[in-house]
Structures are given as C-alpha cells and as structure tokens.
A and B are shown apart, each in its own frame.
Chain A
Amino acid sequence: MASRRTRYSTLGLALPALALYSVFFVWPLASGLYLSLTDWNGLAKTCNFVGLRNFAELLGDSLFVSSIVVTLKYAAFVTALQVALGLILALLLSSERIRFRPFLTTAFFLPKVMSAAIISVIWTFLFGNAFRGALGLIGMENTAFSWLGDPDRAIYSLGIVEIWHGLGYYMIILMAGITAIPSDVLEAAEIDGAGLWEKTFHVTLPLLAPTIGVCAILAAANSLRAFEIPFIMTAGGPGFSTTTLAYFIYNTAFQSKQFGYGCAAALYMLAGIMAVTLAQLRIVQRKGVEY
C-alpha cells in the first residue's frame, strides 16, 4: 500500500538524527547506568560489578551531600536574582521613558555571548588581584573581606559571576514577553484610571507570569549544572565550599579515578534536576493566568 511505503520512507529520513543521537547520547546514558553499578577506575581494562553499592555509599559520603547543598544554595541565589533583576531591567528597558535603550540592551546582553570559561578566568582576577589593588589605593588592602577566600561567601561570589553572565538573556526574554502584551489591555486599564504602579502590578506582571516561569525554569536548569565557574575560579575551594555537584562528579571520575562512583552520582544529579524542573513546571501551569 502506498501509505505504508510512504510512512516508512519518511521515517527513513529520520535515520541520521536517530543514529547519531543513539550513539552519542542514548548509548552513553545506558552505559552510564551500567557503569554506575561497577567500580571501574578509568584506567584498568576490567572492573567488578558491585550492584547498588555506589549509590548507598554516596548517601553516606559527606562530600556528595555537601555538594548537593552547595549546588542548591547557588541555584536558588542565581535563579532568584537573575529573574528578579531581569524583570526589573526588562520593565525599565521596555518603557518609552528610558533613553539609550539599544545601547543598554546590548551592554547587558553582551556577557551572554561569551563562554563561561573565558569570563571565569577574568572574574578570578577581578575578585582577587584587582579588588585588592583597588582597596590598596585607600590603604585597606588587608581587610578580611574576601570574595573567593571566605568559605561562606565564595559560593555567592561565584553566583554573582553567573548572574552577570546570564542576566541579559532573561532580560531579553522578558522584554519579548512584555511586547507581546496586547496594548488594548493596557489601554483599558488606563481608562479605568490605573497609574503606572497599578498597571505594572495588576496587568503586566500577571500576564507576564508564564514567561517569568519559563525564565525561572531555564535559570534553575542552567545553574544546577554549574561546572566551569567553580572549576576555573576556585577549584571547588576553599575547602569544599564551592564544590558543586557537577564538579564533584568531575573530580570523582578524573581526579580520584572512581568512574563507577562518579556515574552513580551523575544519575542522582539527573533525578534531582528532573524533580526540580517538573516541580517548577507544575507551579507554572497552576499559576498561569488567563485574561
């Protein structure tokens, strides 16, 4: 029958994508599942099957647990500020009253175009040498305030870099969302006597809620995977205060040569990210506002 032939021949078109995707994504995913059940050390040719031992050990590994805590702190901080600041900037830069809008948009967006690796290197210098140098001008170079050297503060300093990096992206998305709001709704509100505050809070923001939700989901998904910034800026230190989950996995596999263990941790990471993203989707869908 012609339709069956067409059905299969069209599906044949999907072969290139399927093939490469299966080889480089699905197969590694499956083999990661298998590796997490072994004790492979990355160098040897053979390894032993150890069942769920890696998963159990991880739960008792204080470094693993602390890396989860560090990652959550980082992600919460970054997501909240990226969305909040992005929203404020988007509102401002969508307003007719602000001048130089093209310049401002470009300026805030520019860091997004650069790679995390490159900006990490520069910010390491800024937080360390440049900051001390500036303090030195007023003779305060020995102050105890340290961006990257204070274990309680370091993870938030890294967060500042991530925020600087991605802020423009969410600002742009929100700006697009703002322009999508039909002008008759705003006009209707004005006719009803609403001022700037009321228009923003009772009309713009609720209509923008889905977009804000999308930004939050993207920002969270991105920051939960933080690797380059802690890797380059602090090597997970001081101590382990900036060792994120992704960095923990990298270290376990490539520094401590415990590949099986690292794969198990990576599966925990997958579960965690899925859980967070699904929870966020739930919230966004529930709070969606119709007008």
Chain B
Amino acid sequence: MKRRALFGLIAAFTLSMVAVNPCYAQKPVTLRLVQWKTEAREAIEDIIAEFHKKYPHITVSMEIPGQYDSYIQAKAAVNELPDVVGLYGTGLFDYAKSGLIQELTGAPFLSRCTPFSLRATTDQDGRVWGLPIDGSAIGVYYNKSIFQKYNLEVPRTMAELEKVCTALRKNNITPFALAYKDAWTIKMAAVTCYDNYVYGPYPDWTELRDRGQVTFAGSPEWRQVLDALRFILSNGNTNTAFETDYDTAAVMLATGKSAMLVQGLWALVGIRSISPEMDLGMFAMQAFWPDAKLVHFTDLCLCISADTKHPSEARLFLDFLTQQQAALTWCRGARLFSAVKGVKPDFDPITGDIFAYIDRGDTTTVHDRTWWSSFNTTFEKVLQEWMVGSTTDAEALKKLDDLWDRAKASGNR
C-alpha cells in the first residue's frame, strides 16, 4: 500500500515537472533555415537568439547561400529541402503545387498577419502556404538634402523630371545610379513602370496575353515602359551602367555622387551602412504616368518543408516570428516593413514617405507573380540586351513575345 502511494507520488511529481517545463523532457532540435536576403542577416540572427532563449532546446541555424534559386531547387530535387525555407513570388506556388512545402491554412499565428501580406502566400483556392515576413516597396530613392540644396521638388510630370535631371547634371551629380551589370536591377526599374502603365489600365494583362488578345510587340503600354527605361538610362551613369553592380550603385547614392536610385526597400541597409544620417526619401515614378503608384508587396515568405522532421518546432518558430517583439526586431534590423499587424514602421525616416502612399491607397503590387517562371528568369536579360543597343524596341518586344510563347508551351508557371 505504501509502496503504491510512493510510486504514485513519484509519477505525479515527474509528470508535473514535465508539464511545467516541457523542455525538460525534450531532445535538442536543430532547425535549418535558409533564405536569400543578406541584408536581413543580423535581424534574423537576433530573432533566433531570442527564440533560443525562450525555447532552449531548439536551435535555429541559418544559411544564406549564394546562387539561391538553383540551390534550393537542387535540394528540393533530392528531398532535402531545409526545415524552414524562404520563397518568393511564383516560386512559392510552384513548390506548393509540387508538394514540397506544408500547407499552413488555419494556423493560429497567421491571424497576426495583415491581410495584405497574406495575399503573397495564399493561392487561388484560399489555401495558405507560407508565413509572410516583410513588407517591401520598390520606388525611387532620392537624396532629400541634394534636392533641397538645388530647390528641386519630387517630380510628378515628365517635364518636372527632366528639369530635375538637368539641374542635377549641371551640378555634376549623376541623376540616376544605374546598376545594370546586375540584370535584376533592370527588372526593378521595369517593375515600377509596367506595374503602373501596363497593369494599371489592364490588371489582367497576363490572362489577355495567354489568350493571345494582346502581345508585347503590339502593346503601346509596353512601348511606354521602354521609353521610360530609355529615359532613365540616358539620365544616369550611362557609360558605366553595365559594369556597375548593385552594391556600387548603393554606394553612389550614399556618397552623393548620384541623387536617385530605383530600387527596393531592402537596399536601405546597405545605404545606411555607409551614410547612416542621410536624408532619404522615396517616390513613385509618377513622372511617366500621373496616377502611378508605389509598388508595395511582400517579398520574403518563410515556408515549412513538407518532409521536415520537426514540423511542430518549425511552427513554433513561425509563431515566434509573428510576436510583436520579433516583428520589431525585424523592422529595426532589416529596415523593412513587417507583415505582422499593428507594428509601427518607424524604423527609418523614409517610411514616412512610403506610408504616405499606403495611406492614400496609392500602391500596386508586383505582377510578375502571374508570369511563367522560365519567362521570368530571361525577361531582364532581354531588356539588358535592348538597353546596350543590341536590339531595337520592336525586336526586343518580339523577343519577349517569343519567350513568353515558349515558356507557356513548356508549361511551368
């Protein structure tokens, strides 16, 4: 009788210990996290450190590999996708369709995200495949001090933009910092244009193109995009544009050699690391189209691999990321918006400008999400080829048409 009571007491004691401190009974777990934003490294590592303090038995190890896309593609092909993997745009839905990432619909932490950000990870059937992390914007950075010095205003028409560029050039400042060695930056410039001129009047342009009702070559809107890009190219460091890379262009803006830079919000970290106190603003490319909106979208999304051995720990991590404290750490470190509701984005003076657009509803989202993936990867190179003068406007647009048709035929959206 006494022995049984003793046994019961010990069992109760052990159980209560486990209940009170679940980690006591848990094996240490390592979660592998992979994403591509080098600018966000410190922010995420800070969050990881906080997470580890709360759950000592879980260690998150992050890697930021070079050649990101082919890296995770290769990993996926051999069922070795990391536990938590960063995905974006159409790629996210490609992986969802191939059954490589877990569905997260209904997870409680999703309710802490803004509906806007969730659109990036929700497919057409309403199923959610990842956790949105950031909010980003693509627009024209501009050096407010330089603008003030020469009495320049944010240009809202073509004439005003021309005036700004002329004034800058007269004072030996390169108007636009061009980083066109990295073809993806061409896409950034193109995005601010086509998301407005093409998808503004025709939000379903992609479907129209698939049905053959419109073409690149026959579209005056795309010609407008080319004209705009041509203007930007001739008002920047034209001679060195194709050997200047993303980092060098950020340096040009930061040191005042150049006054404007068409880029996404993620470039802020690099610029601030050189000029922390610089007075920076951002505007949408209204000069070419008065109703132009600022491109605002969710870039980084974290997904859980379908084959992960630690699904519950991975979900714990995602849940932690949606806590206010983690979201604030993210904002301050990565200098990007957070997808979490109610987080005040005052991590940088530039957010004032961006928020002005968001408040007025003057934002548009990125539309290459609907494009065929093999078209996506070659689009910017065709533009780059056009920019160096190897093809005419008509030839470049025709090339885009051919590319689109071939991408459609091979069926990978």
Interface string of A144-159 (1 = CB under 8 A from B): 1011111100000000
Of B69, B76, B240, B384, the residue contacting A238 (CB under 8 A) is B384
CB distance from A51 to the nearest CB of B (A): 15
Q: Does B148 contact A (CB under 8 A)?
A: no
CB distance from A148 to the nearest CB of B (A): 5
Residue pair B381, A132 in contact (C-beta under 8 Å):
no
Closest to A128 in B: B243
Closest to A142 in B: B239
B183 to chain A: which residues have CB within 8 Å? 235, 237-238
**Which one of A38-46, A90-98, A163-171 contacts B?**
A38-46
Q: Does B377 contact A (CB under 8 A)?
A: yes
Residue pair B410, A39 in contact (C-beta under 8 Å):
yes
Q: How far is the CA of A251 from the CA of B403 in the complex (A)?
A: 14
Residue pair B240, A148 in contact (C-beta under 8 Å):
no
B245 to chain A: which residues have CB within 8 Å? 128
A142 to chain B: which residues have CB within 8 Å? 237, 239-240
Residue pair A42, B77 in contact (C-beta under 8 Å):
yes
Which B residues between 375 and 393 are near A, CB-CB below 8 angstroms?
Answer: 377-378, 381-382, 384-391
Residue pair A44, B243 in contact (C-beta under 8 Å):
no
Q: Does A257 contact B (CB under 8 A)?
A: yes
Interface string of A106-129 (1 = CB under 8 A from B): 000000000000000000000111
Q: Does A285 contact B (CB under 8 A)?
A: no
Q: How far is the CA of A239 from the CA of B380 in the complex (A)?
A: 8
Q: Does A3 contact B (CB under 8 A)?
A: no
CB distance from B172 to the nearest CB of A (A): 11
Q: How far is the CA of A155 from the CA of B374 in the complex (A)?
A: 25
Interface string of A213-254 (1 = CB under 8 A from B): 000000000000000000000111111110000000001001
Q: Does A143 contact B (CB under 8 A)?
A: yes
Q: Does B219 contact A (CB under 8 A)?
A: no
Residue pair B181, A237 in contact (C-beta under 8 Å):
yes
CB distance from B77 to the nearest CB of A (A): 7
A42 to chain B: which residues have CB within 8 Å? 73, 77
B382 to chain A: which residues have CB within 8 Å? 239
B105 to chain A: which residues have CB within 8 Å? none
Q: Does A22 contact B (CB under 8 A)?
A: no
CB distance from B116 to the nearest CB of A (A): 30
CB distance from B189 to the nearest CB of A (A): 15
Report which residue of A127, A132, A147, A255 has the largest number of chain B beta carbons within 10 angstroms of its beta carbon: A255
Q: Does A258 contact B (CB under 8 A)?
A: yes
Residue pair A238, B374 in contact (C-beta under 8 Å):
no
A237 to chain B: which residues have CB within 8 Å? 181, 183, 242, 381, 384-385
Q: Does B248 contact A (CB under 8 A)?
A: yes
Residue pair B242, A258 in contact (C-beta under 8 Å):
no
Q: Does A256 contact B (CB under 8 A)?
A: yes
Residue pair A149, B73 in contact (C-beta under 8 Å):
no
Q: Does B180 contact A (CB under 8 A)?
A: yes
Q: Does B21 contact A (CB under 8 A)?
A: no
Residue pair A236, B381 in contact (C-beta under 8 Å):
yes
Secondary structure of the B contact surface, majority rule: helix
Residue pair A257, B385 in contact (C-beta under 8 Å):
no
A41 with B412, Cβ < 8 A, contacts A148-B181, A239-B386, A239-B388 known? yes
Q: How far is the CA of A238 from the CA of B69 in the complex (A)?
A: 21
Closest to B411 in A: A41
Q: How far is the CA of A191 from the CA of B330 in the complex (A)?
A: 84
A150 to chain B: which residues have CB within 8 Å? 242, 388
Q: Does B373 contact A (CB under 8 A)?
A: yes
Report which residue of B181, B237, B248 has the largest number of chain A beta carbons within 10 angstroms of its beta carbon: B181
Residue pair A258, B410 in contact (C-beta under 8 Å):
yes
Residue pair A132, B240 in contact (C-beta under 8 Å):
yes
Residues of B within 8 Å of A, CB-based: how many? Answer: 40
Q: How far is the CA of A251 from the CA of B380 in the complex (A)?
A: 14
Interface string of A246-283 (1 = CB under 8 A from B): 00000100111110010000000000000000000000
CB distance from A279 to the nearest CB of B (A): 31
A147 with B243, Cβ < 8 A, contacts A39-B410, A254-B73 known? yes
Closest to A236 in B: B381
Q: How far is the CA of A58 from the CA of B345 in the complex (A)?
A: 50
Q: Does B340 contact A (CB under 8 A)?
A: no
A149 with B241, Cβ < 8 A, contacts A44-B98, A235-B183 known? yes
Closest to A241 in B: B390
Q: Does B70 contact A (CB under 8 A)?
A: yes
A148 to chain B: which residues have CB within 8 Å? 181, 242-243
A238 with B410, Cβ < 8 A, contacts A128-B243, A144-B239 known? no
Of B94, B243, B373, B407, the residue contacting A127 (CB under 8 A) is B243
CB distance from B190 to the nearest CB of A (A): 15
CB distance from B177 to the nearest CB of A (A): 13
A43 to chain B: which residues have CB within 8 Å? 73, 76-77, 94, 98
Which B residues between 117 and 139 are near A, CB-CB below 8 angstroms?
Answer: none
Residue pair A149, B385 in contact (C-beta under 8 Å):
no
B243 to chain A: which residues have CB within 8 Å? 127-128, 132, 146-149
Q: How far is the CA of A238 from the CA of B243 in the complex (A)?
A: 9
A241 with B242, Cβ < 8 A, contacts A128-B181, A255-B374 known? no
Residue pair A149, B386 in contact (C-beta under 8 Å):
no
Report which residue of A41, A150, A241, A256 has the largest number of chain B beta carbons within 10 angstroms of its beta carbon: A256
Of B77, B237, B242, B385, the residue contacting A240 (CB under 8 A) is B385
B76 to chain A: which residues have CB within 8 Å? 43
A41 with B181, Cβ < 8 A, contacts A144-B239, A151-B390 known? no
Q: How far is the CA of A150 from the CA of B390 in the complex (A)?
A: 10
Residue pair B70, A151 in contact (C-beta under 8 Å):
no
A129 with B388, Cβ < 8 A, contacts A146-B243, A150-B242, A255-B70 known? no
A239 to chain B: which residues have CB within 8 Å? 381-382, 384-388, 390-391
Interface string of B242-284 (1 = CB under 8 A from A): 1111001000000000000000000000000000000000000
A238 with B242, Cβ < 8 A, contacts A39-B410, A142-B237, A256-B378 known? yes
**15 extra interface residue pairs, beta carbon distance < 8 Å, beyond A43-B94, A239-B388:** A43-B76, A143-B239, A147-B243, A151-B385, A236-B381, A237-B183, A237-B385, A239-B386, A240-B385, A255-B69, A255-B377, A257-B73, A257-B373, A257-B412, A261-B410
Give A contacts to B, CB under 8 Å: 39, 41-44, 62, 127-129, 132, 141-144, 146-151, 234-241, 251, 254-258, 261
